[in-house]
């Protein structure tokens, strides 16, 4: 799976999650320490972006399930929708206060950049045309699609938390140096 850490891997994720990435932080040159922190921040931003893609599709599927159970009205019925129709339905769903997922509100100082390293899995997860027309899925197929996306989102969230921990360690070391002058 592309979201997992691969020891010795060449991706930025593999470098950031390598235990040696945070070894001997007190001994690192400040420029290298800042570069590592920037890499961790960028990786977190990219993972966050991919996670939002998955959450959007998951929200569409869960809105369909909620409609079927009578919890809320349908986000739109019919066959597979265009991107514009999906975006419109998603904006209605995301404006709904009953969304299943909420962020912790971390301030991001960087924009997603190299999401291609993770996007492939996200695209595979959401590319199935059937998830573009959740109203056409049987109840078991809808439940399976939701479970599948939740599993990917949980793995992605776990990886993202690990990257955030690395970023925090690097930021703490920079703060320590600033306090010491």
Q: How confident is the model at residue 95 (pLDDT cuts 50, 70, 90)?
A: low
Please tell me the predicted confidence (pLDDT) of residue 132.
Answer: 67
Per-residue pLDDT for 78 more than 50? Answer: no
Q: What is the pLDDT of residues 5-31, one digit of tens each?
A: 888 888 899 999 999 999 999 999 999
Q: How confident is the model at residue 82 (pLDDT cuts 50, 70, 90)?
A: low
Q: How confident is the model at residue 69 (pLDDT cuts 50, 70, 90)?
A: confident
Q: What is the pLDDT of residues 98-147, one digit of tens each?
A: 545 445 555 555 555 555 555 566 666 666 655 667 888 899 999 998 99
Please tell me the predicted confidence (pLDDT) of residue 163.
Answer: 96
Per-residue pLDDT for 37 more than 50? Answer: yes
- Does pTM top 0.85 for this prediction? no
Please tell me the predicted confidence (pLDDT) of residue 164.
Answer: 97
Please tell me the predicted confidence (pLDDT) of residue 3.
Answer: 72
Please tell me the predicted confidence (pLDDT) of residue 81.
Answer: 54
Tokens of 129: 């045309």
Per-residue pLDDT for 72 more than 60? Answer: yes
């Amino acid at each position: 799976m592309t979201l997992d850490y691969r020891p010795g891997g060449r991706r930025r994720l593999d470098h950031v999650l390598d235990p040696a990435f945070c070894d001997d932080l007190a001994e690192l040159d400040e420029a290298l320490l800042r570069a590592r922190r920037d890499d961790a921040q960028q990786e977190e931003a990219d993972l966050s972006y991919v996670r939002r893609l998955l959450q959007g599709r998951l929200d569409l599927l869960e809105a369909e399930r909620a409609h079927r159970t009578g919890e809320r009205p349908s986000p739109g019925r019919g066959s597979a929708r265009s991107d514009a129709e999906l975006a419109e339905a998603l904006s209605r769903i995301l404006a709904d206060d009953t969304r299943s997922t909420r962020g912790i509100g971390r301030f991001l100082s960087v924009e997603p950049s190299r999401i291609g390293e993770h996007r492939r899995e996200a695209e595979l997860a959401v590319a199935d045309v059937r998830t573009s027309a959740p109203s056409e899925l049987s109840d078991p197929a809808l439940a399976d699609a939701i479970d599948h996306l939740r599993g990917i989102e949980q793995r992605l969230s776990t990886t993202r938390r690990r990257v955030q921990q690395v970023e925090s360690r690097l930021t703490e070391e920079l703060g320590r140096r600033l306090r010491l002058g």
